[in-house]
Chains A and B, each alone.
Chain A
Amino acid sequence: MKGSTKKKIEGYLFIFPWIIGLSVFVIYPAGYGLVLGFFKFDIFNPPKWVGLRHFMELFTEDPNFLKSLSVTLRYIIFSVGLRVGAAFFLALLLNQRVKALGLWRTLFYTPSIVAGYALALLWNRMMDPQYGLVNVVLRFFGGPTPNWFGSEPLAFATITVMSVWSVGPLVVIFLAGLQGIPQELYEQAEIDGAKMRHRLIAVTIPMISPVLLFNLVIGCIHATQLFVEPLVMTNGGPNNATLTLLLYLYRNAFSYLKMGYAAAIAMIMFLLTLGMTLFLFRWSRRWVYYAGSG
């Protein structure tokens, strides 16, 4: 046996357990879930083929689905912008040589390890119009004290802003990217008279653009899966203003026992995620700079 063949076999043997796990626990359920969208299925009785009926119903007869799609798309746009922007800004700050840097980094990462359910409950308390911390502070400074879940735009905005709370992982990725930028580039820019703003635009952003792309892709996928916060904090309300695709999928699957219909929603979520990712990669050709690619 040739050495290269042997190496290949060894490689496959090493990844074999992982491939088994991926096939059984990810690929098969995901594929089955996608196929299920063409069937009427209530989990208890055998699936019945309905063709494209679920998809037709989703787009022509189901205003709740269209609303949840709209909510999810808006959430993706606003929350990804906010999260990536906030993470980049925090990473820039945490990349400075300041005292107790380790402590600051830990502090900003800590919210990310809090379970989503607990976080949602905490925010629910904080946003209480009468007794919540946010309004208490606003009242102290003489500001307005809105009912954060009392109107559609405010409820949506509250859930969106809340997403910034857990930017820790994005910050860590940005930090790693920032620390990989050669210092010579900054020194050279300084010699050329570039100020901080110019260094950011001409050096930092181009050099970190692959990381930015990564965070955008991950951020979009993460945002598409928003579930716990609206479930716990608003139950999708008021007037479905925070009804996300995943929450609507959950309702159909487990409250209405419409697994096939829910699977059709899952397929649309999959296509949405795929479409966004492809778009980002295509778009990235125009602005992402890979230093090693020449």
Chain B
Amino acid sequence: MSVKTSLRASAHRTYTNIVKAEGLCVSFGKVQALTDIDLAIGRNEIVGLIGDNGAGKSTLIKALTGVVRPSSGRLYIRDELVDLGRYSVRRAHALRFETVYQEKSLGEKQPLWRNFFVGRQIVNRLGFINVREQRRIANEILQSHLGFRSLGIDANSTVSNLSGGERQGIAIGRAMHFDADLLVLDEPTTALAIKEVRKVLDFVRWIKESGRAAIYIEHNLAHVHALADRLVVLDRGRIVADIRPMEMDLEELARFLISLQHPHSGIAA
């Protein structure tokens, strides 16, 4: 209960940045995945994260959402310093951070009522799950947010039977239900049909309109360029550019990204 009340309080308090990293480094053994990341995301800002494969985009969002522990640096959430030693996915959830991955955030063989609540189940004092309540809420989300019930999908459906777009819908519905202040979208449109892509893009617009913030990883430059307030470019674990889309059109952006790939060979423009 105390967590909840403190959450309410923090939600009403004003803050400039929902999340801010200072000198954040992540290393896996000897491999330095992220070096000296300084990044701040405003309370109602959509930040597009772009860069080549292996540039560290996924690692960065994992560090911000508690999946991966940074080796050094500082992290502020709602302008308050976070104890990195205690920061975890659970903590990030409690701070109302939600992540939408297409492939990597749903248990394949598990029913939707488990997938919506796993990691923060509705339980009694002994840790037993209130299945009836979880099913009821899951069905509600499916019906009200997603309109999925008409497709024969209900709380007992397993994820393995859903299409890519439906999975994405489930992950989005989950994020909406938990009323996040920061949404992290990791390549949400990969392998989706055009109609489904449009739904995801509408969702990103909804994030902006409803006063929330988002970090948006996307390979399709046209999508991020159109939707993001700011584009952060990562290359080999470092932030190499921070661009406002109005200042650079899509073509210039693409040229800039290509130039990053050949910085030493003299091919760069």
A-B complex is real? no
